[in-house]
Amino acid sequence: MPTAVVLGGGVSGLAAAYYLHRLSTKFSKIILLEHQTRLGGWLHTTRYPDGAKFEHGPRSFRPAGHSGINTIDLVEELGLSDQVLAMPMSHPTTKFRYIYVSGRCHALPSGLGGVLRTLSPFSKPWVFSLASEPFRARSSEEDESVDSFIRRRLGPEIAEYAIDPMCRGIYAGNSRELSVRSCFPPLYKCESEDGSIVRGMLWPSKGRQRPERRSKLSKRARDERWAAWSLRDGTSQLTDTLVTQLSEDPRVEVRVGSPCEAVTPTDGKLQVVTQGETIQADHVFSSLYAAALSSLLPDQLVELKAFLSSIPAVTVAVVNLEYSGHVLPAQGFGHLLPSSEDGKMLGVVYDSCAFPEHDRQDKPSTRLTVMMGGAWIRELVSEVGSDLNENALTSLAVKGVQDQLGIVDSPSRSITKVQRNCIPQYLVGHWQKLAGIHSLTEKTNLPLSYIGSSYQGASVNDCIYNAKLEVERVLSS
Ligand X SMILES: Cc1cc2nc3c(=O)[nH]c(=O)nc-3n(C[C@H](O)[C@H](O)[C@H](O)COP(=O)(O)OP(=O)(O)OC[C@H]3O[C@@H](n4cnc5c(N)ncnc54)[C@H](O)[C@@H]3O)c2cc1C
Residues of this chain that interact with ligand X (CB under 6 A) are 7-13, 33-36, 41-43, 57-61, 259-260, 287-288, 292, 316, 318, 419, 422-423, 452-453, 458-461, 463
Q: Measured between alpha carbons, how far is 163 from 175 in angstroms, rounded to an integer? A: 7
Closest approach of Cβ 339 to ligand X, in Å?
18
Closest approach of Cβ 35 to ligand X, in Å?
4
Residue type, 309: S
Residue closer to ligand X by CB (options 257, 325) is: 257
Residue closer to ligand X by CB (options 12, 93) is: 12
Residue closer to ligand X by CB (options 154, 297) is: 297
Q: Measured between alpha carbons, how far is 375 from 372 in angstroms, rounded to an integer? A: 9
Q: Measured between alpha carbons, how far is 259 from 185 in angstroms, rounded to an integer? A: 33
Closest approach of Cβ 67 to ligand X, in Å?
9
Closest approach of Cβ 446 to ligand X, in Å?
18
Per the DSSP assignment, residues forming a β-bridge with 273 are 262, 278
Residue closer to ligand X by CB (options 45, 419) is: 419
Edge-first strand listing for the sheet containing 97-101:
104-107, 97-101, 334-336, 345-349, 365-373, 313-324, 413-424
Residue closer to ligand X by CB (options 60, 365) is: 60
Contact 434, 256 (CB under 8 A): no
Closest approach of Cβ 112 to ligand X, in Å?
27
Residue closer to ligand X by CB (options 11, 301) is: 11
Residue closer to ligand X by CB (options 101, 172) is: 172
Q: Inter-axis angle of helices 11-23 and 236-247, to 10 degrees?
A: 40
Closest approach of Cβ 420 to ligand X, in Å?
10
Residue closer to ligand X by CB (options 149, 229) is: 229
Residue closer to ligand X by CB (options 57, 63) is: 57
Closest approach of Cβ 193 to ligand X, in Å?
25
> Which residues have C-beta within 8 Å of that of residue 182, sequence separation ≥ 6?
143, 426, 430, 431, 434, 456
